[in-house]
């Protein structure tokens, strides 16, 4: 399943890549607390879905975060400079299931919206 939101802000890939592990709870209340921060790219966090390892990766136009030990393989990317809105930031999340419990889907939709709102506060 895929989930999208558009943050109407102006930043670049480097600006998005400044979102490091230690800052994740500031951007998403769904990431309730950091258990361990190993470095800017690796952490363990307690989330609304449980405790997971998170890896941060630079990607074209921004940054991607991956819950590496999540059964649903949740990832989310923050990118800019691409169509259809190259002057905004796309928040894109995926899970590895074509269907999922509606309540779980709602939590991911809320998560994506948290990121959109936080990006607009941070960079707006």
What does the pLDDT look like over 38-90, one tens digit per residue? 999 999 999 999 999 999 999 999 999 999 999 999 999 999 999 889 999 99
Q: What is the pLDDT of residue 84?
A: 84
User: Within a domain: residue 45?
Assistant: no
DSSP state of 116: H
CB atoms within 10 A of CB 68: 12
Q: Sorting pLDDT into bands at 50, 70 and 90, what band is 2? A: very high
Q: With pLDDT > 70 as the criterion, what percentage of the chain qualifies? A: 100
- Of residues 32 and 99, more confidence is placed in 32
Question: Does residue 119 carry a pLDDT above 90?
Answer: yes
Average pLDDT over every residue of 16-38: 97
User: Within a domain: residue 47?
Assistant: no
Q: What is the pLDDT of residue 7?
A: 98
Q: And the tokens for 99?
A: 């269907």
User: Within a domain: residue 30?
Assistant: no
DSSP state of 123: H
Q: Sorting pLDDT into bands at 50, 70 and 90, what band is 124? A: confident
Q: How many domains does the chain have?
A: 1
User: Within a domain: residue 27?
Assistant: no
Cβ proximity of 45 and 33 under 8 Å:
yes
User: Within a domain: residue 49?
Assistant: no
Q: Which domain holds residue 74?
A: 2-19+57-123
Cα distance between residue 63 and residue 109, in whole Å: 19
User: Within a domain: residue 90?
Assistant: yes
User: Within a domain: residue 115?
Assistant: yes
């Amino acid at each position: 399943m895929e989930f999208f939101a558009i943050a109407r802000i102006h930043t670049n890939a480097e600006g998005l890549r400044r979102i490091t592990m230690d800052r994740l709870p500031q951007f998403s209340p769904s990431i309730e607390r950091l258990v361990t921060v190993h470095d800017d790219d690796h952490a363990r966090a307690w989330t609304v879905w449980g405790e997971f390892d998170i890896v941060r990766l630079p990607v074209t136009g921004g940054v991607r975060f991956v819950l590496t030990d999540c059964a649903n393989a949740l990832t989310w990317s923050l990118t800019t400079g691409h169509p259809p809105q190259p002057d905004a930031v796309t928040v894109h999340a995926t899970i590895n299931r074509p269907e999922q419990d509606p309540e779980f889907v709602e939590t991911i939709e809320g998560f994506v919206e948290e990121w959109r709102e936080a990006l607009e506060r941070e960079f707006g």
